[in-house]
Amino acid sequence: MVPDIVIRVQRVGAIEVPLPRYQTEGAAGMDLHAALSAPVTLEPLARVRIPTGLRLAIPDKFEGQIRPRSGLASRFGITVLNAPGTIDGDFRGEIEVLLVNLSDAAAVIAPLDRIAQLVFSPVARAALEFHDTLPPTTRGSGGYGSTGGM
């Protein structure tokens, strides 16, 4: 696989986490691991910031997105609370994942568990301008539920 971008990574802290990697050839996200020295119990409806033991140097015009792992969500009701979490290109601190337990049972996050996915995406910078009118569309100002369905 030839990468589209190269991200510089630095390990931080005492826990030596694996370098994130794609689990399959067609995967969009790399798995992030919990940089924990002991298990953490996540009670129902509780939230916790889990360190990853990594800092990133994301190139200009890119961002990192922290997304839930579908297996954790479907099996245990654990998801990323601020999904997708954004890692700005100029952030150089340790990446932490804000997990929440949406189930009715406590769950345990063990050291080095795969806790989230990391996706890199290009970023477009926009200039906003005030105008007295906007171009019309078929949908118009129809909002929540206006296109049918649930």
pLDDT score of 140: 82
> Is there a domain that residue 3 lies in?
no
Note the pLDDT tens digit of each residue in 70-118.
Answer: 999 999 999 999 999 999 999 999 999 999 999 999 999 999 999 999 9
Tokens at residue 105, please? 């049972």
Tokens at residue 108, please? 């345990």
> Is there a domain that residue 80 lies in?
yes
> Is there a domain that residue 25 lies in?
no
> Is there a domain that residue 91 lies in?
yes
> Is there a domain that residue 150 lies in?
no
* Region for residue 86 given its phi and psi (left: phi exceeds 0; alpha: psi -120 to 50; beta: otherwise): beta
Note the pLDDT tens digit of each residue in 21-75.
Answer: 999 999 999 999 999 999 999 999 999 999 999 999 999 999 999 999 999 999 9
Range of the domain at 37: 30-122
Q: How many structural domains does the chain have?
A: 1
> Is there a domain that residue 127 lies in?
no
The domain that contains 55 carries what CATH number? 2.70.40.10
> Is there a domain that residue 142 lies in?
no
> Is there a domain that residue 143 lies in?
no
